[in-house]
Chain A
Amino acid sequence: MTDRTADSVGTPESVDAILDSLDTDSLAGYNYAYLDEHTKREVRRSILSAIALPGHQVPFASRAMPLARGWGTGGMQASLSLLGPQDTFKVIDQGSDESVNAANIRRLAAKTTDIETTTDATAASIIQSRHRIPEAVLDEDQILVLQVPVTDALRRVDGSDDANRRRHAHRNYSKMWVALYENVVEYGEIKLSSRYPVMVAGRYLMDPSPIPRWDVPKLDDADNLFVFAAGREARIYAVPPHTDVEPLAFEDREFQVERFPGQACRRCGSTDTFLIEVETDDGERQYACNDTSFCQKRSASPALSKAHHREGDDHAWGPPTDPSISVPERSASPAGATADDAETSREEGDRR
């Protein structure tokens, strides 16, 4: 690769030549999954430590990646260390598979490994994500790798990592609680838009990365493994399957997810998914699903449940829609799966 670049750089027409070669070249000279084997092993060891201590931040030797730190290098290193030839990989950025960052990360993985890529959250074995947990229920064969910009929930209240590590060591989280108290004083409820602090297995306070509050309940007692990786801060932490994850809240000021009163996705009509607000040029506000791949599935079959690919349908996953607005039929009777659902579920099972 270096030879070719050296030859072709310098002449104006070489740009086309480089682009052509990118399509055809296997990335000769690169190790499988870009990183060298020692690095991958080191990352996997850190992940194992993180799984052994749910919610605890484990240091790892974050390598330079072909991407600036803060753009998902931690997630990439975790994903690339985990990806084997049998895996199917999905990358999401803010709910979308098609954003530049997600597409580039997916392409790098596809180029340097033998994996399949997908945009279907139920078909992927490893999903790397930024800012969202997919709407579709994840299962025990899947790993969700989340990119983390800020590793420590306590940094909200104290900038000193030294003091914060001490607080973690002694489970002294009163300062975080005061911040929540003051939040309620100011707003009447806890208003943290993202990075909602959670207690993992009753021991460590964890920053769940900038997922919306909507996604926080999905961490609790999930079937899948969550790996949180921060490249810039060189830390990895994890929530293993079936771990208690409890958002901090007061007895009389409970944790609440975002509310979209009376709103449904403009495209697929969903009322039980996380919606984003879009303002059009003429000032009109519209709502749309944030998870584009799930939105696409819903558009095709509006009655699709979030757990459509699962045996049985009684999976508590994610927040219910706000009870003050009309409860949509599908989440009102989670056990009553339609024939369609069962059909889809079998198909998915076969495909995997």
Chain B
Amino acid sequence: MTVLEASNLTKIYGEPCGECVEHTGPAVGDNQCPVCESVVACAAVDFELYDGEVLGIVGESGSGKSSLAELLALDSEATAGRVDDDAHDGNLLDADYQDRHELQNHHIGMVHQHVRDGLELDFSGGGNIAEKLLAAGWRGYGDIRSRVRELFEATEIPVSRMDDPTATYSGGMQRRVQIAKAIANDPELVILDEPTTGLDVSVQARVLDMFRRIQREQDVATIVVSHDLDVIRLLADRTLVMRHGRIIESGLTDRIMEDPHHEYTQTLINSVI
């Protein structure tokens, strides 16, 4: 069963002239419209996401991965397109602020690339997670505490640091708090935007292991955005390869890794250091 069905997702930064999409893309080799200088972050993106599936989105910097993730997490407005989601009647992209808020609290968990976008650094780590629970209507202090503790344990953050300001956490811990926050209300969909970027290799491995375990246990559909092919290889069942705002190749992760069809994907896979 599909959790999410996206068609013709388009996001253009700037004042589009109407021909931006034709003037950009892999064929042209650029994502900036030569006519109006708008930047086409992503265009004509179609994909489906199934129950319990992990979908990887891979591509170089500026290929539109994060813009796509933000659209799906309802953090930014799409220029065009349609997303059908189980949790919402009609086009998800047309949801008003109230519905978006509701969806973000209950159905879509987002792990932001930048900690500041996802966490309130003045609040304690526990407080950041509690915010999600409180927004979802939790009103028992004891219940909130035990749920936060449970999430800290699940994401392997030291429980003893629960009440310290998030700003005092290490980068890996902050990433874990974001993951804990994203899964706090048992969402149907989790979006990870560069979940391991900026972490050292041993911490990367532990964060990925931890997330893989949680993802299996809870069977939550996940979209992983990363420029790192190893992350994608480790987590994703299926993969979309993006370049200049378009999907240039999609398929099972193993197939893409072993037998890349598109010229760019071949370069990408061969260029791993």
Contact A174 B126 (CB under 8 A): no
Contact B140 A181 (CB under 8 A): no
Is B98's beta carbon under 8 Å from chain A?
yes
**B: number of interface residues (CB 8 Å):** 20
Pick the contact of A172: B101, B123, B128, B132 (CB < 8 A): B101
Contact B141 A174 (CB under 8 A): no
Cross-chain pairs A/B with CB under 8 angstroms, 8 sampled: A178-B128, A181-B134, A181-B141, A181-B144, A182-B123, A182-B163, A185-B126, A252-B141
Contact A185 B140 (CB under 8 A): no
Bound-state CA distance A78–B135 (Å) is 36
Q: Identify the B interface with A (CB < 8 A).
A: 97-98, 101, 120, 123-124, 126-128, 130-132, 134-135, 139-142, 144, 163
B163 to chain A: closest residue by CB:
A185
**A: number of interface residues (CB 8 Å):** 16
Q: How far is the CB of B104 from chain A (nearest CB, A)?
A: 11
> Which residues 243-273 of A sit at the B interface, judged by CB distance below 8 A?
250-253
Contact A182 B127 (CB under 8 A): yes
Contact B101 A181 (CB under 8 A): no
A178: which B residues are within 8 A, CB to CB? Answer: 120, 123, 127-128, 130-131, 134
Bound-state CA distance A252–B126 (Å) is 18
Bound-state CA distance A174–B144 (Å) is 13
A174 with B124, Cβ < 8 A, contacts A184-B141, A185-B163 known: no
B96 to chain A: closest residue by CB:
A170
Contact A251 B139 (CB under 8 A): yes
Bound-state CA distance A327–B181 (Å) is 46
A253 to chain B: closest residue by CB:
B141
Chain A interface main SS type: helix
Q: How far is the CB of B128 from chain A (nearest CB, A)?
A: 8
Contact A185 B131 (CB under 8 A): no
Contact B139 A181 (CB under 8 A): no
Is A177's beta carbon under 8 Å from chain B?
yes
Is A297's beta carbon under 8 Å from chain B?
no
Residue of A170, A174, A181 contacting most chain B CB atoms (<10 Å): A181
Is A41's beta carbon under 8 Å from chain B?
no
Bound-state CA distance A285–B150 (Å) is 46
Give 6 A-B pairs besides A185-B126, A250-B144 with Cβ atoms closer than 8 angstroms: A170-B98, A174-B131, A174-B134, A177-B130, A182-B123, A250-B140
> Which residues 136-192 of A sit at the B interface, judged by CB distance below 8 A?
166, 170, 172, 174-175, 177-178, 181-182, 184-186
A177: which B residues are within 8 A, CB to CB? Answer: 130-131, 134-135
Contact A251 B141 (CB under 8 A): yes
Bound-state CA distance A147–B101 (Å) is 34
